[in-house]
Structure 1
Amino acid sequence: MQRSLIQHRIVCILFASMFAIGSNIALGQDGYPTKPVRLVVGSSPGGGTDTTARLIQPKLGQFLGQQVLVDNRPGAASMIGAEHAARSDPDGYTLFMGISTMTIVPSTYRKIRFDPIKDFEPVSKVVSVPQLLVSHPSLPPKNMKELILFAKARPGQLNYAAGGYGGNPHMSMVQLLSMTGMDIVYVPYKSGNAGLTDTLTGEMSMMMANMLSALPHVRVGRLRAYGVTTARRAPGADDIPTIAESGVPGYESTQWFGVLVPAKTPRSIVMRLHRDVVRVVNDKEIQQGFIRNGGTPEASATPEDFGRFMQAEIEKWAKVVKAAKMKQL
């Protein structure tokens, strides 16, 4: 009788302890975040990824109730930043500003130290942005047709800047050269922003630039724009033609940005982040900021929708790399 009573008390204590632990975990997640959140960016300050991160940073911090800190880790076609984010603790305090390039590099590099699907939990897409083919104003051609004729008459004499091998800007240019027969030399840069700096000084002939970072320079005459890479003209920049309508029919390439977190981040935190990122993307002030620079705000209906989109992008770019017979580094 006494032994039975003792056993009953032990069982009750154990259940009470398990309930308390479970409650504490739930409370910890429900109370998220309790400290500043880090948003890792795989490019240097001033690039398109950085511009996107800093545009959503204040409002996301406001909705989360905690400061959001941008952490720039540029290099290797955004792979340095992606690897760092993937290896961070899955506690919701490290976010990654995902970019379309991360769905290309599995096809262009033999060894990458992260898997864009297995090592991340998708949160939401944020914006789609055209690439913008630009040159220093001193380059003679004034439009796309003139550029094609000019380049074809000078094979291997012009160069173009782009971030790491296999990144979205590089692949967009590879696709253009393949479709036009132009022979323009690729000069890789640690980041797109570094390439943009040298294009602005005239050291580089041209580049396939991120719209968010290049358009302001086009507006003040420091760069000449030849066309956007999307099938339709960009909102907020409808005076700039598409490359397709400017002499390369059928050409299309788009860059996108979205928020991800390390794999195994608790579902409750992923859903809290999804809710607040969607609120940010749907904010009128944020939308106008993207549209003003040629972007199209696009929030994912669910994290799973964003994950399916990323998987489709991986498959699409694998076909492009194979068709272009590109080397895997």
Structure 2
Amino acid sequence: MSAISRRQLAAGLGLFALPASAQEAFPGSRPVTIVVAWAPGGSTDFVGRLVAQALTAQLGGSFVVDNRPGASGTVGHASVARARPDGHTLLMGVNSTFAMSRHLFPQRGYDDDRGFVGIGRVAISPIMLCTNAQSGVRDIAAFVARAKAQPGQMSYASSGAGSSAHLATELFLRGAGITVQNVTYRGGAPAVQALITNEVQLAMVDAVTALPLMQAGQIVALGVSTLARNPLAPAVPTIAESGFPGFEATSDFALMAPAGTPDAIIRTLSRGLTAALADADVVGRMRASSIIPTPGTPEAFPAYLTAESAKWGELIRARGITLE
């Protein structure tokens, strides 16, 4: 072979090798979109934006949030289930959609188990069981006693059928053996306002919303839905320690990707998420908003999802909860 032909062959091999060697490591120069299936300003949006900033710092590239609200979160979830599984479209999911909605929206257009792969749990948001300040009730035992003395005459507010607050309240009512009528409002703000004005006597309120209202004397927290007390309100007992052993109902956030996303990309994202949730600034900002980091792994996510779905599916069937 002549020198010229050898050089030509080497050049040709070099051209063929160039694209592989020039490929960018994930995430590369393309933005990574984290879909939040709720409107801006809520707790899922807050967690999504905080994680996007943290992943940008940990992994490089650019992670951005895209809000796609509608139909109790199923619109945003469906868009991610249909997305190209290349790691550049992710989902900041919440359990009211990925574990509860499947039992209430059978025609939502995607399958939670086959449509997604879990990168890991991110955080939980405690829920406070609250009554209005004028009620005179200051603990769960007193509320249960009043409800039993006035069966069917008291009511509770929920921010939408099938929401975390709705199902958490139904879980409590079943355990207490009391009848309190559900009044559904179009969102959390009007539900809380109804509680403040005594239009309803009970509501499950996200801790980040409840805490300032408690401090202002507008509502009273009877219990918190986590197994441990909230460090920002240590005087409020858990529902579990107030006569309901094992009671737990939280808004859970998880980072997810379309099924079929390469394992190497899932590993990279998991590594970045773990590092982000160990960052003191990220942890501090979450805890200041009464959100508790709960870092998880891809391996642990399927068992968590199965258990969470089974828990709420059983409650929905037992209580006869529908969207009508």
Which residue of the partner structure matches residue 289 of structure 1? 285
Deviates most, 231-240 or 117-126? 231-240
Q: CA deviation digits over 1:156-202, x for unaligned, max 9?
A: 44332324423322211111111223322223345445534554566
> In structure 2, the residue corresponding to 1:304 is in which secondary structure?
coil
Identity percentage over the alignment?
31
1:79 aligns with 2:64: no
2:90·2:256 contact (CA, 8 Å) conserved in 1? Answer: yes
For residues 68 and 200 of structure 1, do their structure 2 counterparts lie closer, same or farther at Cα, with a shift above 3 Å needed?
farther
For residues 89 and 248 of structure 1, do their structure 2 counterparts lie closer, same or farther at Cα, with a shift above 3 Å needed?
same
Q: CA deviation digits over 1:52-111, x for unaligned, max 9?
A: 223333322322334433333334332222222222333323221111222122223333
Separation in 1, partners of 2:146, 2:188 = 25
Matches within 5 A, 1:53-202: 53-101=48-96, 102-192=98-188, 195-196=191-192, 198-199=194-195
CA-CA distance at 1:49 after TM superposition: 1.8
1:136·1:202 contact (CA, 8 Å) conserved in 2? Answer: yes
Which residue of the partner structure matches residue 232 of structure 1? 228
2:122·2:293 contact (CA, 8 Å) conserved in 1? Answer: yes
Which residue of the partner structure matches residue 273 of structure 1? 269
1:75·1:190 contact (CA, 8 Å) conserved in 2? Answer: no
Task: Give 5+ residue unaligned stretches, structure 1.
Answer: 1-8
Deviates most, 174-183 or 188-197? 188-197
Separation in 1, partners of 2:149, 2:287 = 37
> 1:38 is matched by which residue type in structure 2?
T
For normalisation by structure 1, the TM-score amounts to 0.81
> 2:305 is matched by which residue type in structure 1?
M
> 2:66 is matched by which residue type in structure 1?
D
CA-CA distance at 1:228 after TM superposition: 0.8
CA-CA distance at 1:281 after TM superposition: 0.9
Q: CA deviation digits over 1:256-312, x for unaligned, max 9?
A: 111111222233322221111111111122223333444432212x31222332122
> In structure 2, the residue corresponding to 1:104 is in which secondary structure?
helix
> In structure 1, the residue corresponding to 2:87 is in which secondary structure?
coil
For residues 122 and 242 of structure 1, do their structure 2 counterparts lie closer, same or farther at Cα, with a shift above 3 Å needed?
same
Q: Alignment RMSD, CA only?
A: 3.1
For residues 123 and 159 of structure 1, do their structure 2 counterparts lie closer, same or farther at Cα, with a shift above 3 Å needed?
same
1:43 aligns with 2:38: yes
Separation in 2, partners of 1:151, 1:44 = 35
For residues 85 and 176 of structure 1, do their structure 2 counterparts lie closer, same or farther at Cα, with a shift above 3 Å needed?
same
Which residue of the partner structure matches residue 217 of structure 1? 213
CA-CA distance at 1:23 after TM superposition: 5.3
Matches within 5 A, 1:288-327: 288-300=284-296, 302-327=297-322
Separation in 1, partners of 2:316, 2:163 = 11
> In structure 2, the residue corresponding to 1:88 is in which secondary structure?
coil
Which residue of the partner structure matches residue 3 of structure 1? none
1:228·1:240 contact (CA, 8 Å) conserved in 2? Answer: yes
Which residue of the partner structure matches residue 4 of structure 2? none
Deviates most, 168-177 or 101-110? 101-110
1:48·1:211 contact (CA, 8 Å) conserved in 2? Answer: no
Separation in 1, partners of 2:196, 2:41 = 14
2:29·2:62 contact (CA, 8 Å) conserved in 1? Answer: no
1:235·1:296 contact (CA, 8 Å) conserved in 2? Answer: no
> 2:156 is matched by which residue type in structure 1?
Y
Separation in 2, partners of 1:135, 1:47 = 22
For normalisation by structure 2, the TM-score amounts to 0.82
CA-CA distance at 1:243 after TM superposition: 1.5
Task: Give 5+ residue unaligned stretches, structure 2.
Answer: 1-7
1:122·1:306 contact (CA, 8 Å) conserved in 2? Answer: yes
Matches within 5 A, 1:221-260: 221-260=217-256
